[in-house]
Amino acid sequence: MTVQKTGIVAKTAFYMLAGFFIVLFGFPFILTILMSLKSMPEYMTGNYWGFPKKIYFGNFQRVLFSSFNIYFLNSLFVAGIAVVLTTLIASLASYAFAKMPFRLSPFVFMLFIVGMLIPVHTTLIPVYQLTKALHLTDRLAGLITPYISIGLPVAIYIMTTFFKEVPNSIQESAFIDGASPIRIYWSIMLPISIPAVSTVTILNFLTYWNEYIYALTLINTGIRRTLPLGIRDFSSIETVNIPSIFTAVLVGSLPVIIFYIFAQEKVINGLSAGAVKG
């Protein structure tokens, strides 16, 4: 009976804690949705926290039919290409570290891991100088290379850990059948590593989508600005139109939220890969 009561108390405590975190992290998002559906006059009457008395879609029209679309597409272009290249480079390097070790592989792998310890924005000045020397400042392509360097250390760490858990017998069987290392990587290892790829993709897409400092430093022309800079410009134009600003934030966060909803299972599998052996 005591064990049963202890189990009930533990379960109750768990659900209370889960409910607390749902409210803590869910309330800002719910508030953003509610604010985006209110008109400016209704907001000025003092209805800050409640449901809108009348649903108003004018804020979405104001956001979607402005230069905000350009910022959105710029971020989609930069983040999309950077994620693909980061994942491709990290998977190739991780395959070499895990299944094709060479004399310096521990040292090279450690260099990537050390990269996780370096604050990203301490490299801002040399990155700017290098980008300027390559004539890539104020170009979207100039953001892609720094973004890849930001995402590689974590991506290589996750994917190398995953590849090490893949039995060597799979690779050996493919070698016996005459498959080349590239063929094994593309046809066997990469499909197997989908959970790890999903994890790396989500983490890096979120990082690239929200990155602000590099974009602010390397991009000057308004038409080439990414979404975080666009939200800043949009908020400075709207100033007191708080519902429109909340709408811009909501529209800017939707791609990451939708992407994560569809990939969350694979992300969880990728993060837990290697936790259980046997």
Q: Which two tokens stand for residue 159?
A: 């994917």
Query: Would you place residue 5 in the very low, low, confident or very high pLDDT band (cuts 50, 70, 90)?
Result: low
All residues at 6 or more sequence positions from 55 whose CB lies less than 8 Å from its CB, including other chains: 37
Where residue 267 falls among pLDDT bands split at 50, 70, 90? low
Domain match, 27 and 69 both:
no
Residue 278 pLDDT grade (very low, low, confident, very high; cuts 50, 70, 90): very low
Q: Which pairs with CB-CB distance under 8 Å and at least 24 residues apart come from 212-216?
A: 213/121, 213/124, 214/121, 214/124, 214/127, 214/143, 214/146, 214/147, 215/143
Q: Is residue 105 part of a domain?
A: yes
Rounded Cα–Cα distance for residues 30 and 36 (Å) = 10
Instruction: State how far the alpha carbon of 89 is from the alpha carbons of 153, 170, 180, 229, in Å.
Output: 11, 22, 18, 28
Identify the pLDDT of residue 276.
Answer: 41
More confident residue, 216 or 258: 216
pLDDT at residue 3 tops 70: no
Whether residue 213 sits in one domain with residue 111: yes
Q: Are residues 88 and 226 in the same domain?
A: yes
245 in the same domain as 158: yes
Q: Higher model confidence: residue 272 or residue 40?
A: 40
Tokens of 203: 């983490």
> What is the tally of structural domains in the chain?
2
Q: What is the mean pLDDT of the chain?
A: 86
For residue 57 the two structure tokens come to: 């879609």
Quick one: pLDDT at residue 95?
A: 92
pLDDT at residue 51 tops 80: yes
> Could you tell me if 123 and 17 lie in one domain?
no
Whether 82 and 177 map to the same domain: the answer is yes
**Tens of pLDDT along 54-96?**
899 989 988 888 788 899 899 999 999 999 999 999 999 999 9
25: containing domain: 2-36
Task: Give the predicted TM-score (pTM) of the model.
Answer: 0.84
User: Is residue 14 a part of any domain in this protein?
Assistant: yes
| pLDDT in the model for residue 77 | 95
Amino acid at 57: F
Residue 54 belongs to a domain: no
